[in-house]
Structure 1
Amino acid sequence: MGVALRPLIADYKESLAWDQLGGTAAIDAYNALYQFLSGIRQPDGTPLMDDEGRITSHLSGLLFRTANLVEKNITPVYVFDGKPPAFKEATLAERRIIRANAKDSWERAVKEGDEETARKYAMASSKVDAFITDSSKELLTALGIPWIQAPEEGEAQSAYMAAAGDVAYAVSQDYDSLLFGTPKLLRNLTVSGKRRLHGKYVPVYPERLILEEVLNGLGMTQVELIAAALLIGTDYNSGVKGVGPKTAVKIVRDGKFSERITESENAADPEELIRYFLDPPVEKNYTIAKKAPVQEKVFEILCEQHGFSEERVSAGLERLGAKKGQATLDSWF
């Protein structure tokens, strides 16, 4: 869900054409998987499933939307979350309740034949479990697409890789990557290119945020931006009741952060949270390696195990640069 920074940084968003986005992208894998699970569904919200009832929406997304990135000269590196920090448990527990309630509402809407309502609640009920994670990693390995396991937060890992210059930017729909210090954040890269809004589909374009421009525009340091986020509320704390983005900035600028943060109902130490954003646990010994897709393995996973059409999978592999009988992706690295 992330922190509600949108009102503060709206002026610093830059819409870009796809031909301006070439380079290596560290993608928040869980963020992308939730997008695939939420968006790739039947009209009534039922996810794509194989004959055994296993969800396959995420596998479809990984193949075809990754192919879309590759065709646009973007080299994806998927970064998976590890164990969440202890102070995130309250947020995770709340999300579990929301998903459970959404699932109940979805099932009721399906029984009533209300497809519009059913789809809305189905999207909110999406869950990334061990099967989703493990099957995603298996498919990415077979496709030759690099992925990295973060020790804790994937967005922190992506930000570290971007700051180190090993990737061109971090990709996520959330703004937390800015708090973790990514120099560049790109949004809307793993969405379908359109979004349903008020019953209609509207186009979605890639957005870029440059941290230096955000900080300079707000007249804040990285620590001050984190402090403002803590006043608003993050995945790690509840924030201060009644404090929105603009008020949070004013409090920080007036030097009253320490005074006001004590009003937060969350027991987490704000100084500990600031330190976490500035220096989170990350994997520093990683390799972003180009590999050829193992086409036989891709067909085994998607077609034999999950019932995908061989024709569709072949088309996806060709979009990734793998011609029939060809075993290299050198053309897109």
Structure 2
Amino acid sequence: MGVAIRDILADCKETLTWGDLPGIAAVDAHNALYQFLSIIRQPDGTPLMNGAGRVTSHLSGILFRTVNFLEKGIKPVFVFDGKPPEFKQETIEQRREVRNRANEAWKAALKEGDMEEAYKQASASTRIDRHIIESSHELLDLLGIPVVQAPSEGEAQAAHMVRSGGVTYAVSQDYDSLLFGSPVLVRNLTVSGRRKARGRTITVNPERFVLSSVLDRLGVTREQLIEIGILVGTDFNPGIRGVGGKTALKVVRSGEFESLIAEKQPDFDPGPIREFFQNPPITDDYALEWRTPDVERVVEMLCGRYDFSEDRVRNALTKVSVKATQKTLDAWF
């Protein structure tokens, strides 16, 4: 879900081309997996699966998007979520209920033959389980892509990695990365290109947000940006009913954040959430090393166990693998 401040950030984004993106990208892994699982589906909403009924949409997304990244000079590192903070439990439960309702609505739409509604509800029913995580880790390792395990929120860890200077930008669909202090956020990197939405084909382009420019344009500090997020609602609190981004911006600029919270939510203490955004659990115990893909083991995994087309997998991997007639992987970096 993230924080709903898109309306006040509309003038802060830079639309990019792939030529603007070479560098090291810290990808919010769970966010990317949700995108792959939501979008890579059959017309009736059914995810891609192997003959045994195991979901493979995420593996397709990881393989082909990672190859695309490497071709464009982007060195991805996937950052996985760790243990969520206690005050996120309510949001987690709410999301589980939403997915369950969407799953029932998907079944109903299929019975009625409404494929557009079925696809919509199926996407909303997306969930990440142990199989998704473990198979994603395995494929990324075979592709030679580094993985970082965050102690808590992946976006917080990615933001820290960018601030530390070893990573060029964070990649996520959610604006929380800015609240966590990422100097640069790139959106749409895992979903860019042409795809269908609401029955029509649209083009999705990457877009970049530079935190210093965002704060300057809005006329706020990072702490005030966090306050805006708290007012509209984050993954850790529901926000104040009826308060959107523009209203929250006015409230914070006028110094009325505390008084509005006291009036509308007298039993709510925003302090722990503010502190979590400013000083989240992070780690420096990671190494960023990219290796040549293990082609045969990738083929064994995807084709032998998950029924991928061997021609498609090998054709994709030839773009980044060591070949006598092609560049080595090192040349891409």
Would the TM-score normalized by the shorter structure come out above 0.5? yes
Letter in 2 for 1:38: S
Task: Compare 46-55 and 289-298 and name the one that shifted more.
Answer: 289-298
Task: Compare 135-144 and 62-71 and name the one that shifted more.
Answer: 62-71
Residue 5 (structure 1) aligns with: 5
Please state if 1:299 is matched with 2:271: no
The structural deviation recorded for 1:289 is 0.6
Secondary structure of 2:78's partner?
Answer: strand
CA deviation map 1:179-209 (0-9, x unaligned): 0000000011111512434421111111000
Residue 17 (structure 2) aligns with: 17
Q: Are the counterparts in 2 of residues 239 and 265 from structure 1 also a CA contact under 8 Å?
A: no
Letter in 2 for 1:171: V
| CA–CA distance in structure 1, aligned partners of residues 325 and 83 of structure 2 | 40
Call closer, same or farther: CA 1:151–1:324 in 2, change over 3 Å.
farther
Please state if 1:97 is matched with 2:93: no
Call closer, same or farther: CA 1:102–1:323 in 2, change over 3 Å.
farther
Please state if 1:230 is matched with 2:233: no
Residue 330 (structure 1) aligns with: 330
Letter in 2 for 1:125: S
Q: How does 1:37-186 map to 2 (within 5 A)?
A: 37-186=37-186
Q: Are the counterparts in 2 of residues 238 and 265 from structure 1 also a CA contact under 8 Å?
A: no
Secondary structure of 1:316's partner?
Answer: helix
Q: Are the counterparts in 2 of residues 291 and 328 from structure 1 also a CA contact under 8 Å?
A: no
Structure 2's unaligned 5+ residue stretches are none
Call closer, same or farther: CA 1:261–1:65 in 2, change over 3 Å.
same
Secondary structure of 2:59's partner?
Answer: helix
Secondary structure of 2:128's partner?
Answer: coil
Aligned CA-pair RMSD: 1.7
The structural deviation recorded for 1:252 is 1.3
Please state if 1:309 is matched with 2:290: no
| CA–CA distance in structure 2, aligned partners of residues 267 and 144 of structure 1 | 49
| CA–CA distance in structure 1, aligned partners of residues 268 and 327 of structure 2 | 51
Secondary structure of 1:90's partner?
Answer: helix
**Count of residue pairs brought into register by the alignment:** 333
Task: Compare 197-206 and 323-332 and name the one that shifted more.
Answer: 323-332
| CA–CA distance in structure 1, aligned partners of residues 62 and 51 of structure 2 | 20
Q: How does 1:213-224 map to 2 (within 5 A)?
A: 213-224=213-224
Call closer, same or farther: CA 1:13–1:192 in 2, change over 3 Å.
closer
Please state if 1:275 is matched with 2:271: no
Q: Are the counterparts in 1 of residues 184 and 208 from structure 2 also a CA contact under 8 Å?
A: yes
CA deviation map 1:241-275 (0-9, x unaligned): 22111111121122111111235559653111111
CA deviation map 1:80-138 (0-9, x unaligned): 01111111111111110110011111112122222111111110011111100000000
Residue 31 (structure 1) aligns with: 31
Letter in 2 for 1:148: V
Letter in 1 for 2:262: T
Call closer, same or farther: CA 1:315–1:159 in 2, change over 3 Å.
same
| CA–CA distance in structure 1, aligned partners of residues 43 and 266 of structure 2 | 40
The structural deviation recorded for 1:71 is 1.0
Structure 1's unaligned 5+ residue stretches are none
The structural deviation recorded for 1:238 is 1.1
| CA–CA distance in structure 2, aligned partners of residues 95 and 77 of structure 1 | 27
CA deviation map 1:219-245 (0-9, x unaligned): 111101101110111110111122111
Using the size of structure 1 for normalisation, the TM-score is 0.96
Call closer, same or farther: CA 1:219–1:93 in 2, change over 3 Å.
same
| CA–CA distance in structure 1, aligned partners of residues 275 and 262 of structure 2 | 17
CA deviation map 1:47-85 (0-9, x unaligned): 000111000000000000111111111111111011111
Call closer, same or farther: CA 1:277–1:302 in 2, change over 3 Å.
same
Q: Are the counterparts in 2 of residues 237 and 268 from structure 1 also a CA contact under 8 Å?
A: no
Letter in 1 for 2:305: Q
Letter in 2 for 1:82: G
Q: How does 1:243-258 map to 2 (within 5 A)?
A: 243-258=243-258
Task: Compare 192-201 and 245-254 and name the one that shifted more.
Answer: 192-201
Q: Are the counterparts in 1 of residues 27 and 76 from structure 2 also a CA contact under 8 Å?
A: yes
| CA–CA distance in structure 2, aligned partners of residues 136 and 326 of structure 1 | 27
Secondary structure of 1:109's partner?
Answer: helix
Call closer, same or farther: CA 1:54–1:322 in 2, change over 3 Å.
farther
Using the size of structure 2 for normalisation, the TM-score is 0.96
